[in-house]
Amino acid sequence: MAFLEFVDVIKEYGAVRVLHGVNLAIEHGEVHALIGENGAGKSTLMKILAGFVAPTSGEVKLESRRLQFSSNTDAERAGIVLIHQEFNLIEDLSIAQNIFLGRELKRGVLLNTQHMNLEAAKALARVGLQLDPRTLVRDLIVPHKQMLEIAKALSRDAKILVMDEPTATLTPVETDVLFEIIAGLKASGVTVVYISHKLDEVKRISDRVSVLRDGHLITTRETASTTQHEMASLMVGRDLEDMYPAKSIPSRKASDVVLELQHFSVPGWAQDIGFGLYRGEILGFGGLVGAGRTELFEALLGLRPRSSGTVLRHGRPIQIHNPRDAAKAGLVYLSEDRKGKGLLVDFLLFQNLTLSNLSSYAKPLLNQNAEQRALEKARDEYGIRTGNLAVAAKMLSGGNQQKLSLAKIMQLEPEVVILDEPTRGVDVGAKREIYFLMSALAAAGKSVIVISSELPELLGVSHRLIVMRQGQIAGVLEAEHLNEQEVIQYATGLKSNLGQHNPVNA
């Protein structure tokens, strides 16, 4: 009898069945990876485990006893803790206050703040964070928030710890710390369920791996005897052809430079940045989280203040004060923060699609038929998959949301497309489609800048790669020479080719 068992678990939301009788066994003390495309049912299954939702039928058994939780609090009390992909932290409370939220330590009726701060510091130390527990969560950078979530879960003495995409925002160094922690937990008898899209991590950390597809459990295998390629194929249900499209490096005559930045600085984030972008080029931007890449491009679009610098379009200086100016100059930017800055999640699909160039649908009243037609066209061109086009954007899966976002910025018919983490939270199949879309854009003569924290992706799609470190360009690398080791050396400061200063010819 397995330690933790899902028996014929079925979950329906209204008429939609998202889990079709899942049977899954997890052994005590193992690290069990759960993989599958977005919408495969991984999160739902784990939400059932953690008491957030109840199964429509079927049961979950822990040590042969049937679990029945009426809330997540029940589950946590039973030692089952789920760390969400989206942070469950209260921004305006301190680290310690967050860790002890709902189970505050008291002295009599008063809070024992000192004791909580002390305990919080210990919990932070366990995940390798050296932060003052009185710091407000608001002031933490994203990777630290992720580590705090883990510290918070650990402090709850979990027997079963479920992690949903924990490394999405972590740097390689922090990922290493996390893996050490997981190894330590495993050694002390904690069972870990690890959900991830990053198959290399799954390979590295897990003992066994289970694959979900369309609400069915496809298989559970020993990780050691399964290759990453096999995992990917199992997830999508067919053999994956090459992940990345073929590269055709565009010509690099001086007259092909469509955008050039000179001595561009963003206070606190980037200093003296200079580079050129060619027609038909895919230019990657690599570096660690916090290297200033997002901030650089937000400043370029006028979304945050910049201190100096010249921007040239086809060799002529232009002024960009806000995204409208940028759009007029043919520049568009896709934010890494899809829900916060990219899509109106409560709006219908067509309303999102046409938001940036709505005036072209107004004569002067909005022609909603034309908007609908544009949506149908975008659906076909960008492969947005949804049963019903008349739904709010939040009803789409992450990958389809991202394709909609892409379609939305392309409505402006830009020449320069800046994509910030375009595949974050997107499953393997959708990732590949996005890579091919980028390639198609470049082939059509557009220029694409892609910022990504996933090295394989950067190496796979970029014609050239600029690596940033601490707000400066650490290196400009040609596609031919690209390998992960070298990029990491530039990103971490072990290597630099800053000497060559003419950015266009770099």
Partner 1 sequence: MSQPKITPSTNLTKPKLDLSSYGPFIGLILLCVIGAILNRDFASWGNISNVLTRTSLVGIIAIGATFIIISGGIDLSVGSLIALQAGVMILVLNAVFGTLGASFATILIGIVTALAVGFVAGLLHGFLITKGRIEAFIVTLGTAAIYRAVLTQLAQGGTITFTDPKLSSLFEPLYYGTPLGIPVPILVFLAMALIAGLLLNQTTFGRYVQAIGSNEQVSRYAAINVDAVKIWAFVFQALCVSIATILYVPRLGSASNGTGLGWELEAIAAVIIGGTALKGGSGKIFGTVVGSILLATIGNVLNITSLISEYLNPAVQGVVVIVVAFLQRNRK
Q: Is 32 exposed, middle or buried (0-12, 13-18, 19+ CB in 10 A)?
A: buried
Decide if residue 345 touches partner 1 (CB under 8 A): yes
Residue 64 or 388: the one with the smaller Cβ distance to partner 1 is: 388
Rounded Cα distance, 108 and 8, in Å: 47
Return the C-alpha torsion angle 413, 417, 423, 427, nearest 10.
30
Q: How many binding residues for partner 1 (CB under 8 A)? A: 40
**Judged by CB under 8 A, which stretch of 36-44, 97-105, 173-181, 351-359 contacts partner 1?**
351-359
Beta bridge partners of 139: none
**Judged by CB under 8 A, which stretch of 3-11, 162-170, 188-196, 362-370 contacts partner 1?**
362-370
Rounded Cα distance, 311 and 436, in Å: 29
Decide if residue 312 touches partner 1 (CB under 8 A): no
The one-letter amino acid at 195: I
Rounded Cα distance, 452 and 285, in Å: 7
Query: Which of these, 156, 149, 152, 161, lies nearest to 185 by C-alpha position?
Result: 161
Other beta carbons within 10 angstroms of residue 457's beta carbon come to: 21
Decide if residue 366 touches partner 1 (CB under 8 A): yes
Query: Mask 386-405, x = binds partner 1 (CB under 8 A)?
Result: --xxxx--------------
Query: Which of these, 29, 36, 66, lies nearest to 48 by C-alpha position?
Result: 66
Decide if residue 303 touches partner 1 (CB under 8 A): yes
Other beta carbons within 10 angstroms of residue 380's beta carbon come to: 9
Decide if residue 369 touches partner 1 (CB under 8 A): yes
Decide if residue 53 touches partner 1 (CB under 8 A): no
Among residues 58, 267, 290, 323, the one that binds partner 1 under rule CB under 8 A:
323
Among residues 105, 243, 289, 412, the one that binds partner 1 under rule CB under 8 A:
412
Nearest distance from C-beta of residue 62 to partner 1, angstroms = 29
Distance between the two ends of the chain, CA-based, in angstroms? 62
Among residues 324, 377, 394, 501, the one that binds partner 1 under rule CB under 8 A:
324
Return the C-alpha torsion angle 79, 85, 90, 95, nearest 10.
70
**Judged by CB under 8 A, which stretch of 146-154, 228-236, 237-245, 355-363 contacts partner 1?**
355-363
**Judged by CB under 8 A, which stretch of 48-56, 166-174, 316-324, 444-452 contacts partner 1?**
316-324
Residue numbers 415-434 binding partner 1 by CB under 8 A: none
Decide if residue 335 touches partner 1 (CB under 8 A): yes
Relative orientation angle of helices 428-443 and 228-236, to the nearest 10 degrees = 90
Burial 182-211 (b: 16+ CB within 10 A, else e): beebbeeebbbbbbbbbbebbbebbbbbbb
Decide if residue 353 touches partner 1 (CB under 8 A): no
Among residues 342, 398, 460, 471, the one that binds partner 1 under rule CB under 8 A:
342
Decide if residue 101 touches partner 1 (CB under 8 A): no
Decide if residue 444 touches partner 1 (CB under 8 A): no
Decide if residue 371 touches partner 1 (CB under 8 A): yes
Enumerate binding residues for partner 1 (CB under 8 A): 303, 322-324, 326-327, 333, 335, 340-348, 350-351, 355-356, 358-359, 361-362, 364-366, 368-369, 371-373, 376, 388-391, 408, 412
